[in-house]
Amino acid sequence: MSAATEEATAAQERRQRRPAIVAVDDEPAVLAAVARDLRRGFGERYRVMRAGSGAEGLDLLTQVRARGEQVALLVADQRMPGLSGTDYLVKARELAPEAKRVLLTAYADTEAAIQAINEVALDYYLLKPWDPPEEQLFPVLEDLLTTWESGAALESGGVRVIGHRFSKETHDLRDFLARNRVPARWLDVERDGEARELLTVAGVDADRLPVALLEDGSVLERPSILELAERLGVSAQPALDHYDLVIVGGGPAGLAAAVYGASEGLRTVLVEREAPGGQAGQSSLIENYLGFPAGLSGSDLARRATDQARRLGAELVTVQEASKLRVEGAGRLVELTGGGVLSANCVLVASGVSYNQLDAPGFRELTGAGIYYGAALTEARACRDQHVVVIGGANSAGQAAVYFSGYAKRVTMLVRSDSLTKSMSHYLIEQIAALANVEVRTGTQAVTAEGESGRLRALTLRAADGTQTEEEADACFVFIGAAPRTGWLEGVVARDERGFILAGPDARGAAWPLKREPHTLETSVPGVFVAGDVRARSIKRVASAVGEGSMAVSLIHEYLAGA
C-alpha cells in the first residue's frame, strides 16, 4: 500500500470516528436544509447523519451505538407522523443519554417545546426557519456541543485514579478532579481488572492507594490534593505584587465580581480553596436561573463563568485558601495558606459557606465511605440500582434527590420539619412528587449510622413520635444547613453570632471608623466588601449572589474614587 493510500485510509478512519450529530425530520426538503447547515457549521468535527422518521432515527441510533461510536447531538422536528419529535427524543435518550437534545418547532408548537424541557430534559428548542444560521442556529449548537465536548473529555480523561470506592482519600481526589473539570477516569480496584493490572505494571502495592497515573507516565501514590493540583497545573501563583481587587471565594458571587472587575479595568485576582463554583458548582441542575429555560448544572455555570472571567483578564489562584486578613494603612493584605500574601486596594469576601456536619454516632467515621456532604455527583453512577438517602429539606437536597433518582433504585429523603414547603421551591416539590422511586419522610431524622467492612451499611431513623427503625442504605448525602467560612477574619471584620459578616447599616454599628456611611456591601473595615451567602441577611440563591458580586464591583469603584 502506498503512503498516499495509507494516509487516505487513515483520514477516512478519522472521519468515521467523529462523534455523530443525528437529525430527524419527515419533510425531505427541511431535513436536507438541516443537514446542509449542520455540515457547513460543524462538518469538520462531527459526522452529520439524518433520518426521515422517528422510527428510522431510532434504528440509526441503535446502529451507531452498536459500533461503539459517540452521539453528541440529537436534532428532531416536533411534528412527525407516527412518532412526534418529543416521543422520539424520549426513546432516543435511552440509547444516547449523554447527547444534547434540540427540538425544531413552529411558532404554534412553542407550548409543546416548553413542556418537552421537563419531559425529555430538552436542552434547547429552535423556531423554524432559523435564517440566517450564522445567527440563529450556529451559536446555539456551538454552545451545546462545547458543553458536550467538555463532558466527553472528562469521561475519556487522561488521568487515571485507582482506589477503593469507600475510601475518603479516593473520594476527595475524584471530587477534586471532577469539580475542577480535569479529564480523568476512575477505576475501582475491587471491581475493575484493569485497575489491578495497572497497579502490577506500575509496581504499586495495594496499601498505597489511592494512586494517580498521569499522562506523562508518572505515578503518584497517596497524593494530597495540593500535590496533584501542582502536578496537573491546576493551581497557580499570582502574577502581580499588588492588585486593585482581591476576591476570596470562587462561587457565583466571586465569579461575578471577577467578571465585572476585570471587564471594568480593575487588576483582579480570585482565590478559591477548592474549585470554581462553590456550593452552587455541586448542584446537579439549577432550574430557576434567569435566561436558562432548560436549566443548567452548577458545574456548567462555573465553567462558563470561569472562562468568561479569564477571557476578560481576571487571574484565578486555585487550591489556595485565605488564612488571614491584615489592614495596613490604605492597603489590604490577604495571607494564603501556601505562604503567599496578596496585596490589594480592596478585598471582596465571597468565601461562602460549608455544609454543617451531622453530629450523630457513626457519621464522622463513615464520611467519604458512604456518607457525603453536598451532592458529591462523582458518586452518582456508583449508586446505580442502590438505595440512596438524602438528608435535608432545602433546594440543594431536592436537586440531589431528583438527580440521584436517575441512577438509584430507590431514594429516601429525610426531612426534619413536617413539610417541604417551608424550605423548598415549588417546582422542585412537584418534580419530587412525580418521581416513583423517591420517598419523602417528613418529621424524620437519622440518629446513627452503622458501618460494615469500612463502608455505610444502615441508618437508624427516628420519627416524629419517637419510634426508631433501622434502614439499610448504600449511600447518604447530607444537606443540613451551612456555616460561613469566616474564621480567617477573626478579630478583623465584624460578624454576627453565627459568624456571618455584617455589612452596610449593620457594619455602621460595629466600630465603623469613618464619618461617612459604609457602602451597602462594605464591612466594618473600609475597603473590605462582602457578597453572597457569607453575608449576614443574604438571600441564599444563585441569582442574588451573582447580583451582589456585580454590585460589589460598582461600590468598589465608588470607594476607590473617594479613597
Return the beta strands (E) in 384-465 as ranges. 387-391, 410-415, 438-442, 445-452, 455-462
For residues 441-472, b (16+ Cβ closer than 10 Å) or e, as one string? Answer: eeebbbeebebeeebbbbbbbbeeeeeeeebe
Q: Are 446 and 414 in contact (CB under 8 A)?
A: yes
At 40 the pLDDT is 93
At 9 the pLDDT is 47
Q: Which residue intervals of 406-513 are DSSP H helices?
A: 426-433, 505-508
Instruction: Give the H or E element holding residue 103.
Output: strand 100-105
Rounded (to 5) percent helix, strand, coil in the chain: 35, 25, 40
Nearest to 478 by CA among 453, 501, 445, 507: 445
Cell numbers placing 544: 442574588
Cell numbers placing 130: 432559523
Q: Are 507 and 524 in contact (CB under 8 A)?
A: yes
The whole-angstrom separation of Cα 393 and Cα 167 is 27
Question: For the chain (length 563 residues), average pLDDT per consecutive 10?
Answer: 51 65 94 94 95 95 90 93 90 91 82 76 86 90 90 72 90 89 86 86 87 89 90 84 96 97 97 89 86 86 93 93 94 91 97 92 94 86 92 93 94 95 92 95 96 94 94 95 93 95 91 92 97 94 95 96 78
At 335 the pLDDT is 96
Domains and CATH numbers, the chain: 3-154 (3.40.50.2300), 157-232 (3.40.30.10), 242-354+483-562 (3.50.50.60), 371-480 (3.50.50.60)
Q: Which residue intervals of 204-297 are DSSP H helices?
A: 225-232, 252-263
Q: Are 78 and 103 in contact (CB under 8 A)?
A: yes
Phi-psi region of 325 (alpha: psi -120 to 50; beta: other; left: phi over 0): beta
At 7 the pLDDT is 52
The whole-angstrom separation of Cα 547 and Cα 376 is 27
CB hemisphere CA count around 560 (13 angstroms) = 18
What is the full DSSP assignment across 147-178?
A: HHHHHHHHHH-SEEEEE-TT-HHHHHHHHHHH
At 59 the pLDDT is 95
